[in-house]
Structure 1
């Protein structure tokens, strides 16, 4: 199957494949822009230089994003002069087919493609790595014997003369991990802790040039930078220049790596790096990811393409860590699956022990390492759980204490291939108090001074940054900054699903708080659309003094705020759904406000683009030229359609295609009259299907009607459609059959043909030119598909199921999935109400269960849209107790316990369901798609939101849609997940034929969804 087909079929449900429908507010007279003092307006004096600066800044941003938008801009500049006049009526609007597409013809937009980005296409099919994670998972027993002081490992021994010829180099790396929201909101954390950490950092590093510190979260750093004085800013720049202070990764946040789409991962990285370049003039060198719950090769690839040479990860399954420690493969080159060379290699350090806190970073014995966390000195607010406290270092104990920690350093170094050792020194929100800086730095310096003054110990210990460590590591292994060699192994694959102990697999967060996982993707789509339209509008506004009133500066600020709010939500306690309830509300409010602001940017930008006579442009904030076709009332509510009021005079529907592909898509809007006529941008009538708008399962609203038609839009195109209320409409009405337990013969509807009947064992059938579907007459759920091209029937049974949680002490929570066994079937006492719609453009079956309203829609249009099923589940489990709702698709595909999931919407990772692992270990993250296949058929579930997915039995796909859990799972959150919302989960189900490919042969490929 061609890649373009994979994501084109998905349409609006995959990431940015969104069609934005707007409609003009006013009648034709408003389009003419009567000249009034209120509308005239001028661009404020003194702002032109600011505008130019912002434009230059935007151009740098777009150039870094593969120069896509800059190429579009160039095309606009070169071609817009040749745009022909559109239709004469109404005067103000260009109705030419495609509108903006005339400015940007698809055949003329060419983008530069780096040859390295095409390796997956030219050389796919096998692996060039020495360690393949699928093989590692296959050979590991996943047992958990007691390893002694290193509970999840083994006893480590060494000979004291091992370092005689080459001393051990120890880099103690002070750091503070600052979550941009978790137990407190982002702003509360900044006020209470983060600003004090950074303020103390400047003071304490300046006291001694041997001290080092590093930082990763630019969201916090930029907020702090805005409130400090120039003297402190200069001090920070000196510390960076002198190598005492380092920025690592430099993203807006330290993102989760399971749920985010690659668009958002790149965007938050760009936002952070641009801020650093502008304010500090620095570019990070190394990645630092100590807290994301599992790691994706997509992130490794993005860091490599950003120019990084090194990275560090921490949260990996404890059995994998133990295996890598025994093989001394904790440091490796991480290579992409498709890369047969080494161009994607990035040197990766995997921390070997349980956590990134001090007890688990100096060596294998946490009881000893905790004694060297000097914040835990007696009298403080934190202590060591092993009940042996640290001792302040003085002349009387320095020899003994130095030997104790050197013993740990040596044992830890035995897990690696060089005599260069990394020992992080930090934890969550550490160094907020001045006293901790003194406790840690003064005591460690005494230990270093003693160790370094005894050459017979063969050790050199010092404070360092991550770059200090990697530079020494590369030197010790004769490894250049950009090169790789055989000294370190090469690894391909990912590190999901993470477990930190026992059978505690962190697969619950793949689904936790799914409402906001969906809202995240909605914001992404609006952001991409707004940025493209804004850049095009900037070009137009620069052509005339009259158009200089275009609010470019204000809208650029809204775009920046939206990027930062989206970036903030990629944090590993935000999109994961693992924050306190009020913190989740704070995240949701930020997403919601940015969506509202981006709608304004889209409206303002589209306004200037669709006007035929640009000179007539006037901007008036009090009277928007356009309105969006949906309204979301709050951060935790589902959007609802605006009702467009029709008259005999045309209303104008502006439809925008933000993708780089030509689109033939079904567009649905609500109007106030069923006698409607729709005209295309060329003025020709289009076929319209009129459907009822329902108040519940069986009651029709006569205040609104849904009209659906096929819109044809070129790449990145705008099209204006006309809607008119006419005396006699040629639109085709939808017919309905309603299946109920007790059919009641109500009086006929005055417009729609509705037939009521009792639930039946007879099947419900929908079909189009591509497929025929059979649904159960009792449940309304899909049972079978016939593909007409080959005449084959395929079992395709959709059902719902419940998971409970274990009766053991440790139960499921926001992070963990600890089920009480296999899922139990979703049992309904009474058959659900089933509403079947038959129409010219689409037909659908809607099933009304107590906890979910399930819709399966089949389109009847030519093209790719009719080859898949649109699936919508409106889920409401707010009244449940420790239950998780899943949708399961059972087929006759012989998948042989193998399935495939995407990673971050960027690449596909093969999976193997392993019987040696518990059920929860076989759940994996799905950002945009998962599929099963055999030699003849592939079944793909495309998803418009990130969720957990599995294939627990042959021929099955299962997705967990929502979870309600009443208790904490002892991972620090301190609460369950009980703030469930009515949530829309949207999917596309695609069944395809395959030709001559063995199901066992794993072909790993990348796809780009836009």
Structure 2
């Protein structure tokens, strides 16, 4: 996965820099941060900064992960958002303005409130009850204003876009190509990619012989989707799971296909362009339409088809859920205690940089496990073990910090910490924790890549 993510960001950066009309959106920050810190060269970092400044590479959501909405705590959602947003602001001076919550298994009314409070301009979801989505498509109700909080109401409302039945991917099965549809890079092979550059399941390339077939199929799908939305702007996501790891192949096929459609727009009745979510939502906003208001109702539980309610993950992998909860509690307690310590003893023997490194490791571990395929338990056993290992190791580090805060001599630390009943109870809990666990006119399709 590390090699896949590294190839995505390296090749996308190189390909975006070649042509000004290309766009890409990046969602979760964890792998981007790992690439930035350990793989990206100074030249690549310079290119990324330029792309971000020009608005051709746009960070969406901006949290460490795309968190689950059913089994996560609000505090931990805020934590992982803060981790990612802090990195983006410190590194690029930007803050995300749009969400891309397309994969969590259901949509909670809490999430639009959180994103509105975080300054987001629009929210995007996908996985809702299949029957409800069909009804919303038929009645062109996929876009609405969501007032997720009964008390805040209009004060924290947010425009919400629901992906149609194709969700966040383009059609992958085409009648003339039995491979991967509009994905030409095939299936990733790591760590040993094919020497000849031919990956399994690669779709037929866009050529003079195939371009009309691809264009016809793409236009038909765009028009199908357009019938479900009120505006002439259609969001046509060009990306899916584990795509763009070889983005030169993708853009080499997407560019001529889009050029062909635009050259024949009178025939097709459609024009296409690369776009970020910012550009798409700006186009929708400029239509100046009035939208239905949805109250504080959840889209939970999620059902993908008859007799397929996704509720098992509410309780599956209970050990991982338990460790994640305990780690979160320990993190907040340790951060509070260390803050108190630094205020009372700025020159105390517990080194600030050492302590912050211990806390930072646990913040990272607690943040990453909030992923919709993390704390939910829908990941593979190998990945679940990784999450647990990261949590336990980071907790052990914070155990060391807590021990130092309590045991190292620092004048009258004990009496100051125990000044109030609140701190006495907090200290007792900490000691116990330490002891017990070491979309009219022509259509304009915006193709958003991720």
> Structure 2 length normalisation: TM-score?
0.85
Deviation digits for residues 555-603 of structure 1 (CA, Å, limit 9, x no counterpart): 0111111101000111111111122222222211111122222222223
Contact 1:541 1:550 in 2 (8 A): no
| Counterpart among 321, 329, 332 of residue 144 in structure 2 | 332
| Counterpart among 530, 552, 571 of residue 352 in structure 2 | 552
What is the distance in 1 between the residues matched to 2:161 and 2:15? 29
1:715 aligned partner: 422
Q: Does 2:286 correspond to 1:475? A: yes
What is the distance in 1 between the residues matched to 2:265 and 2:32? 40
1:508 aligned partner: 312
1:617 aligned partner: none
2:240 aligned partner: 427
* Shift, 1:278, TM fit: 1.1
Report the 3-state secondary structure (helix = DSSP H, G, I; strand = E; otherwise coil) of the residue aligned with 2:235: strand
Q: 1:310 to 1:603 in 2, by over 3 A?
A: same
| Counterpart among 227, 233, 249 of residue 414 in structure 1 | 227
Range moving further from structure 2, 420-429 or 578-587: 578-587
Equivalent residues in 2 for 1:131-170, closer than 5 Å = none
Q: Which has the higher contact order (CA 8 A, sep 6+)?
A: 2
Q: 1:581 to 1:612 in 2, by over 3 A?
A: same
1:439 aligned partner: 249
Q: Does 2:365 correspond to 1:565? A: yes
2:447 aligned partner: none
What is the distance in 1 between the residues matched to 2:355 and 2:288? 51
How many residues in Structure 1 have an aligned counterpart in Structure 2? 415
Contact 1:288 1:311 in 2 (8 A): yes
Report the 3-state secondary structure (helix = DSSP H, G, I; strand = E; otherwise coil) of the residue aligned with 2:58: strand
2:324 aligned partner: 520
2:216 aligned partner: 403
| Counterpart among 241, 244, 247 of residue 53 in structure 2 | 241
Report the 3-state secondary structure (helix = DSSP H, G, I; strand = E; otherwise coil) of the residue aligned with 1:427: coil
Q: Tell me, which stretches of 5 or more residues in structure 1 are unaligned?
A: 1-188, 384-389, 479-485, 615-651, 657-680, 683-712, 722-1010
| Counterpart among 252, 265, 281 of residue 77 in structure 2 | 265
Report the 3-state secondary structure (helix = DSSP H, G, I; strand = E; otherwise coil) of the residue aligned with 2:171: helix
Q: Does 2:95 correspond to 1:283? A: yes
2:185 aligned partner: 375
* Shift, 1:289, TM fit: 1.4
Q: 1:718 to 1:498 in 2, by over 3 A?
A: closer
Report the 3-state secondary structure (helix = DSSP H, G, I; strand = E; otherwise coil) of the residue aligned with 2:99: strand
2:394 aligned partner: 594
Equivalent residues in 2 for 1:103-182, closer than 5 Å = none
Bigger fraction of residues in strand = 1
* Shift, 1:341, TM fit: 4.2
Q: 1:199 to 1:655 in 2, by over 3 A?
A: same
* Shift, 1:348, TM fit: 1.1
What is the distance in 2 between the residues matched to 1:568 and 1:554? 22
Deviation digits for residues 681-719 of structure 1 (CA, Å, limit 9, x no counterpart): 89xxxxxxxxxxxxxxxxxxxxxxxxxxxxxx6234468
* Shift, 1:312, TM fit: 1.0
| Counterpart among 329, 333, 344 of residue 540 in structure 1 | 344
* Shift, 1:464, TM fit: 1.4
Q: 1:590 to 1:446 in 2, by over 3 A?
A: same
Deviation digits for residues 649-688 of structure 1 (CA, Å, limit 9, x no counterpart): xxx9x998xxxxxxxxxxxxxxxxxxxxxxxx89xxxxxx
Report the 3-state secondary structure (helix = DSSP H, G, I; strand = E; otherwise coil) of the residue aligned with 1:469: helix
Q: Tell me, which stretches of 5 or more residues in structure 2 are unaligned?
A: 188-197, 429-450
Contact 2:143 2:291 in 1 (8 A): no
Deviation digits for residues 37-79 of structure 1 (CA, Å, limit 9, x no counterpart): xxxxxxxxxxxxxxxxxxxxxxxxxxxxxxxxxxxxxxxxxxx
Contact 2:98 2:123 in 1 (8 A): yes
Report the 3-state secondary structure (helix = DSSP H, G, I; strand = E; otherwise coil) of the residue aligned with 2:185: helix
Contact 1:337 1:493 in 2 (8 A): no
What is the distance in 1 between the residues matched to 2:4 and 2:214? 31
Q: Does 2:123 correspond to 1:311? A: yes
Deviation digits for residues 836-893 of structure 1 (CA, Å, limit 9, x no counterpart): xxxxxxxxxxxxxxxxxxxxxxxxxxxxxxxxxxxxxxxxxxxxxxxxxxxxxxxxxx
* Shift, 1:442, TM fit: 2.5
Contact 2:355 2:401 in 1 (8 A): yes
Contact 2:113 2:148 in 1 (8 A): yes
What is the distance in 1 between the residues matched to 2:256 and 2:119? 37
* Shift, 1:247, TM fit: 0.7
Contact 2:150 2:295 in 1 (8 A): no
Contact 1:533 1:606 in 2 (8 A): no
Q: 1:395 to 1:367 in 2, by over 3 A?
A: closer
2:261 aligned partner: 451
| Counterpart among 348, 352, 360 of residue 160 in structure 2 | 348
Larger Rg: 1
* Shift, 1:329, TM fit: 0.9
Report the 3-state secondary structure (helix = DSSP H, G, I; strand = E; otherwise coil) of the residue aligned with 1:421: strand
Contact 2:30 2:368 in 1 (8 A): yes
What is the distance in 2 between the residues matched to 1:491 and 1:352? 21
* Shift, 1:720, TM fit: 8.6
Q: Does 2:376 correspond to 1:576? A: yes
1:203 aligned partner: 14
Report the 3-state secondary structure (helix = DSSP H, G, I; strand = E; otherwise coil) of the residue aligned with 1:289: coil
Deviation digits for residues 456-489 of structure 1 (CA, Å, limit 9, x no counterpart): 24432111112221111111235xxxxxxx3344
1:695 aligned partner: none
Q: 1:489 to 1:450 in 2, by over 3 A?
A: farther
What is the distance in 2 between the residues matched to 1:255 and 1:720? 31
1:983 aligned partner: none
* Shift, 1:406, TM fit: 1.2
Equivalent residues in 2 for 1:71-110, closer than 5 Å = none
* Shift, 1:401, TM fit: 3.4
Equivalent residues in 2 for 1:213-228, closer than 5 Å = 213-227=24-38, 228=40
Report the 3-state secondary structure (helix = DSSP H, G, I; strand = E; otherwise coil) of the residue aligned with 1:462: strand
Contact 2:183 2:243 in 1 (8 A): no
